[in-house]
Amino acid sequence: MSPGKQASQSEAAAPLAAGARLEAMRRRVRFSRVAVWTAIAAGPVALGVAVASIPATVEAAPAAKSTAVPAAAAPIDPGGYAQVFVSAWLRSSADDETSAQARLVRSMAPDVDLPNPAADAQSASPSVSAVRSTQRADGAWAVTVAAQLPNGSVRYYAVSVASDRTGSSFTVTGAPGVVAGPARAEVPKSSSYAMTVPEGHLSSAVGEFLTAYLTGAGGVDRYLAPGVKLTAVTPAPYRSVSVKQVLAVEKAAAAEQVAEDGTTVRVLVRVEARDAAGRWPLAYGLTLTARSTRWEVAALESGAAQDGGGR
């Protein structure tokens, strides 16, 4: 037989062999099904034997090993820890090491000496706040804490804090040191709020909204753009609010008429709020959109950046 004929016969035989294997597999599957149903009819013991006798035709691939690397937890800032320590240290005294404040200092900083203040120096508790935390290369922290003393002055303390490997346990490693406070940052002299908004639709809209927001009069929902959710300050802290100045980024805010629907403007609003204790100057950044001949509040930012401040 010529080589060409042999090759042709081999090519023709391959599909036949594959078909035979497929048919044999089908017979095994049919046989297995019959065996299972027969075993079900015979009872639980026979079912177990039948299942055990079914040949496995597919092997499950081994589960892939997870290669995900857990994210490293961010170190915990010990600013609050240092704040509590300085507050207790300022109120403790070496003359009374059994006081609650002295015991607290000892638990947080075993090797730190207690101060020895005059008796009248502790008549009022200082107001203490952590203002800056920096982690050094060795893992320890340097925390700057501001203490407003009873006489109104502010004193800054640097506190060294060590932490464990997990960053969840701390110890103050030395007595606090008095340091200069943070320098005042330079801010731009020019402002992006360059447009003065005259009295009119927009200034009235922001005044009515902030009155509702800060005094609870009338509710805020009617001043909001669709989809915006804002809740008035509760309980209402003020009894009246008056607008002192409205500055805008976009020219459309200064127009006498409400702009066409969809127009968006950003404004800085300075108001004077009053309560039983006095009057308080406040500032808010608002984003407003025009809809149906009225301005609606789309976003509120309290304590808005003023880009260089008052005019």
**The pLDDT value given to residue 39:** 46
More confident residue, 227 or 23: 227
Write down the pLDDT at residue 299.
95
Quickly tell me which residue has 């039983």 as its tokens: 276
Residue 107 has pLDDT above 70, yes or no: yes
User: Residue 73 above 90 pLDDT?
Assistant: no
Nearest residue to 300 via CA among 274, 276, 269, 271: 269
The widest CA-to-CA distance across the chain, in whole angstroms, is 121
Residue 59: pLDDT over 60: no
Lowest-pLDDT range of 103-112, 126-135, 189-198: 189-198
pLDDT at position 223 is 96
Residues β-bridged to residue 172: 161
pLDDT, average across residues 170-180: 95
- Residue 81: pLDDT above 70? yes
Q: Which residue has the higher pLDDT, 138 or 74?
A: 138
Rounded Cα distance, 38 and 211, in Å: 82
User: Which residues on neighbouring strands pair with residue 286, listed in sequence order?
Assistant: 267, 300
pTM of this structure: 0.61
Residue 22: which pLDDT band, with cuts at 50, 70 and 90? low
3-class DSSP assignment, residue 191? coil
Q: Is the pLDDT of residue 254 over 70?
A: yes
Residue 58 has pLDDT above 50, yes or no: no
Average pLDDT value for residue range 285-303: 91
Rounded Cα distance, 124 and 70, in Å: 48
Q: d(Cα 176, Cα 154) in Å, to the nearest integer?
A: 15
User: Which two structure tokens, joined as six digits, stand for 38?
Assistant: 């027969």
pLDDT value for 33: 52
In whole angstroms, give the CA distance from residue 79 to residue 214.
32
**Percent of the chain residues past pLDDT 70, beyond the cut:** 71
pLDDT exceeds cutoff 80 at 51: no
pLDDT of residue 25: 56
Tell me what pLDDT residue 47 has.
43
pLDDT one-digit tens code per residue, 120-147: 665 567 899 999 999 988 889 999 999 9
- pLDDT the model gives residue 249: 93
Q: Average pLDDT over the chain, rounded to whole?
A: 80
DSSP code string of 120-164: GGGSSPPEEEEEEEEE-TTS-EEEEEEEE-TTS-EEEEEEEEEE-
User: Using omega within 30 degrees of 0 as the cis cutoff, is the peptide bond preceding 176 cis?
Assistant: no
Q: What is the pLDDT of residue 300?
A: 94
